Amino acid sequence: MTSVNQINLSGNLGMDPESITTKTGKDMTKLNLAVTTGYKDNKQTHWVPVVVFEHTAKFAKQYLKKGDMIFVSGTINQSKRKTKSGEEFNSLSIIGREVTKLKSSSGEGVGHQGNEVKIIEDDYNDIPF
């Protein structure tokens, strides 16, 4: 049986997108997504790091900001990191393939006549980790 690595999340951006260019010249943007689970008195917020590339990165940089509600579809990525003291640890993040802006932080609808703004990225051969 083949395994499946697919995740769909919606939540609010906890900070403005951070954009960089990779060593090979590709655009990359980091998003910090707050996903709330539970209900009433049992709510819990999980902070999920999301990384998007190329056209999706440009979209995120241009159209997204702290507080916006977005939908992300992508894959889970595990990478090894080092602390400043040199200790290794595993880190999970989401490689976003599709990002949809659902609502702006000002509460306004998104896009022309309420249509969603969506972009899909297919090429992830230049992931830097």
d(CA 75, CA 122): 12
Tokens of 70: 């977005």
Here the CATH number for the domain that contains residue 12 is 2.40.50.140
What residue type is 129 in one-letter code?
A: F
Q: What is the DSSP string of 108-126?
A: ---SGGGPPEEEE----TT
Share of the chain above pLDDT 90, in %: 71
Domain assignment of residue 129, yes or no: no
Domain assignment of residue 88, yes or no: yes
What is the pTM (predicted TM-score) of this model?
0.77
With 70 as the cut, is the pLDDT of residue 54 above it? yes
Instruction: Count how many domains the chain has.
Output: 1
Domain assignment of residue 33, yes or no: yes
Domain assignment of residue 82, yes or no: yes
- The pLDDT tens digits of the residues spanning 66-123 come to 999 999 999 999 989 888 999 999 989 999 999 999 988 776 655 333 334 454 454 5
Domain assignment of residue 116, yes or no: yes
3-class state of residue 4 by DSSP: coil
Domain assignment of residue 128, yes or no: no
- pLDDT at 125 (0 to 100): 52
Instruction: Identify the helix (H) or strand (E) that includes residue 29.
Output: strand 27-37
Domain range for 46: 7-120
- pLDDT at 118 (0 to 100): 53
| Residue 27 banded pLDDT, cuts 50, 70, 90 | very high
Domain assignment of residue 126, yes or no: no
Domain assignment of residue 2, yes or no: no
Residues 28-52 as b/e (b if ≥16 CB within 10 A, e otherwise) read bbbbbbeeeeeeeeeeeeeebebbb
